[in-house]
A and B are shown apart, each in its own frame.
Chain A
């Protein structure tokens, strides 16, 4: 436990560790795919997509067959056999005018019908989650029925299976976009505005989401997880998240807390129940219960966390977390403490 994690070694480990992280994410998360819907909204969109693709395929085939057939006619006859004026006119009117009008009318109506699912008004008493996009992570608040924040976490959103969840989407800096392809399409998070969306998962599982609007340097690594849990399990989780962090009793953990509270960490991070009240970086009150680090860039393992604390710029260049110099013992104690925040 007390063995040091020299930053040097971590550098060398990076590609391997990231590959490992990948394996871990696959293990727990399904494909981040719009073609693998796990909730009612995504399901309707996917169905609509397959219908559109089928119709589009027929139209494409029609155009190509007409193109080839017309050529075949000329070559077989070894002479010009162009269409007469009337034939041409009928072709253009039937295929170029009537067909598109009919197809597009059907398309517009069924698109609007599909859209009704997205725009469905939710009952007033559904669970509401406020998501704030920040460069480059997600701040998550659970709200009670009077819109008070009752729990705060980051980069990991737990939802109850089978229940619609309302999302209030905001941004603190630039425009981001909230997107969990398996559950729903994107909605932008725009500073100065509040957008709403909703998701519902039909079965338990972990679904990866990612920022859908270019938001600067680390847009590529601004991901998050949606964890759909059975209702009772979710309620337990939420009750725990509402609590402030427990005071450590173990002296080793107390030492870790001391390291944490005397470091620069508390300038930006907060742990509810301590004097760490920073507001510009993820809330760490229940950090140990989260699966990933740095906006779902790495698994939340001891090794990754050490590397992240010592050299965040080497892992996610340009993010706003400064490197921290720590003695090996201090680091170890800090890691123990952070992972004890469950």
Chain B
């Protein structure tokens, strides 16, 4: 395309006003419940996720106080058991997965250069389901009736006979809810990534974070349904007397298979988006394309596949045939290969560069140290004989915190510092950021590294106390004190979030001189995200748009209604203009209806029927076409 063919685009203020008006979310308290814009919903997921992270952290602090001395009486056993169960449920279900989805929902459409997700109302529905689940779970805790069976709730302990209260009913309901929320987010992320990329952004030009989110979403689609079956079976066993997991007439191990077929991929569902964040952060802070784009994509996909073949390594001690177990040792260790490829791709990228050591990159470098340790101890526990010694001990506690905090939370905080300016328009304080990184990094290692040793010294996990002569007291005290340092590290980041909201340095559109499209719109993005949908000609669009040169964009998308461009699956050729639904209260009503159906089940069998009927009404209201009343019979142009 030569210069003289180009038509300059004049941004008329009238059109900008129209766009703002059309994409605006209704203000006010009641308006809040009708928001559907992806930036709005994504932010809610992120904020709610962090709230649950803080709550889960407080629970961890209580546990550390209890364990700081042998024979401590700070918490009674029942409460301690509720607390560690809630800590697990919170961190796995209410924090890690939703917050990764939150970042995906907020960032991915911006990275793709589109104006919203494919199904904005479904997006809102997913959030309300999540919110209801989380609030219900914590209500149970405050009523002292939280589950006390561990986050994987093995029957028969979780059966009505051995856990008679309502705790496990809450558990089964909340787990089902979180699965619905995650599945909804996954399906629409897939649809959005497939169909709403900016023209020219063929699959092989997608940022690696988008690839990671795509893999995560596919994993959710296949991992969550088996657990949904499991949690519904558990609820049925408890309420209507089915025999799925009853010893003798059913099989308690069926639950373990269903749970871990979900539970192992769950770890990668948390890890994979974090890996995507790392690739993008390294690209930005080294100011060069990450080495081995194709290798990194293939590694993500490989992890996604292999992740489904490992669940049995959580069950080595159940008396499985040894040959089968050894097969899973080999399968499990295979995950280290794509992980190794990624680590060395990043090392190759970093080598010899003079990167900008801003806080996001520091968190990524912290990841290298912690995640490699977690990965190596992970290979160790994949070995059947060694696993029988450390299974369900503090060695394992140490291992999975290294993987989940090192592999998930460190990149997440890197991502937080990285994208915060996009969300708020202001940079987070670098000084406080660096303080928080070092406190978190040092506190983390001092807290969790000694736990390896505790586990080898025979300390099982999930014990509310231990005897003094076992010799675990000093290390536990040390761990508890270190946990304080770790908490200070997280706290300083949270202070930073609030402090920077008002006083942070204004960021501008692209404070890091990054390459991907989310930095091509204002910070924070307007309700319509992009004034013009950009056209992508390269894997690094913002680096390609040279200073002073004109940027190619799409014109002709209507501004007087919510319209965006749908493109083809592989090459992102423009296909049609899609009209998007606007604000609506139906998603909230549907979430409430579903809540009545599932949540009421633990009280009476009639509620699922009521919930079914209410859900149908809400769905009909949701999908009833507006055109039928408004632009009735208007011929599509």
Contacts and interface: CB of A to CB of B under 8 A. Distances in A.
A119 B462 CA distance: 28
Interface in A82-111: 82-83, 85, 87-89, 91-92, 95-97, 99-101, 104, 107-108, 111
A212 B149 CA distance: 14
Given A19-B468, A75-B354, A56 B347 contact: no
B114 interface: no
A: contact size bracket: 35 or more
Nearest to A298: B467
B456 A118 contact: no
A188 to B, nearest CB: 5
Interface in A18-77: 18-19, 21-23, 25-26, 31-35, 42, 44-45, 48-49, 52-53, 56, 59-60, 63-64, 66-67, 70-71, 73-75, 77
Given A73-B352, A80-B352, A101 B337 contact: yes
B204 interface: no
A145 B341 CA distance: 55
Given A79-B354, A97-B341, A214-B157, A177 B385 contact: no
Interface string B137-173: 0000000000011100010110000100000000000
B392 interface: yes
A251 interface: no
B291 A92 contact: yes
Contact of A100 (B336, B355, B457): B336
A70 B355 CA distance: 11
A216 to B, nearest CB: 6
B337 A100 contact: yes
Contacts of B292: 88-89, 92
A83 to B, nearest CB: 5
A176 to B, nearest CB: 10
Contacts of A188: 317-319
Looking at A187, A188, A317, which has the most chain B CB atoms within 10 Å of its CB? Answer: A188
Interface string B448-464: 00000000111011111
B348 A83 contact: yes
B350 A70 contact: yes
A15 interface: yes
Contact of B156 (A74, A91, A175, A185): A175
Contacts of B619: none
A135 B161 CA distance: 13
Contacts of B322: 115, 118-119
A229 interface: no
B568 interface: no
B191 interface: no
A220 B393 CA distance: 12
Nearest to B253: A190
Given A82-B353, A104-B379, A318 B77 contact: yes
Contacts of A34: 389-390, 456-458
A189 B430 CA distance: 53
A12 interface: no
A122 interface: no
B293 to A, nearest CB: 12
Interface stretch (A150-158, A191-199, A329-337): A191-199
Contacts of B434: none
Interface in B462-487: 462-471
Interface in A203-223: 208, 210-221
Interface string B315-341: 001110010011001100110110011
A228 to B, nearest CB: 17
A6 B458 CA distance: 36
For the residues of B in contact with A, the DSSP-based class is helix
Contact of A63 (B325, B347, B461): B347
B352 A81 contact: yes
B391 A317 contact: no
A252 interface: no
B76 to A, nearest CB: 7
Given A100-B337, A175-B156, A185 B77 contact: no
21 contacts: A19-B468, A25-B467, A31-B458, A34-B389, A45-B386, A56-B379, A59-B376, A67-B347, A67-B350, A77-B352, A78-B354, A81-B352, A83-B291, A87-B348, A88-B291, A96-B345, A112-B326, A193-B319, A210-B460, A212-B392, A216-B162
Interface of A: 15, 18-19, 21-23, 25-26, 31-35, 42, 44-45, 48-49, 52-53, 56, 59-60, 63-64, 66-67, 70-71, 73-75, 77-83, 85, 87-89, 91-92, 95-97, 99-101, 104, 107-108, 111-112, 114-115, 117-119, 135, 169, 173-175, 177, 179, 181, 184-188, 190-193, 195-196, 208, 210-221, 317-318
Interface of B: 70-71, 76-78, 81, 148-150, 154, 156-157, 162, 247-248, 251-253, 288, 291-292, 295, 317-319, 322, 325-326, 329-330, 333-334, 336-337, 340-345, 347-355, 365, 368-369, 372-373, 376-377, 379-380, 382-393, 456-458, 460-471
Given A174-B157, A186-B389, A216-B149, 16 more contacts: A34-B457, A56-B376, A60-B376, A63-B372, A66-B351, A67-B350, A83-B352, A104-B330, A104-B337, A177-B391, A185-B387, A188-B318, A191-B248, A193-B253, A213-B154, A220-B77
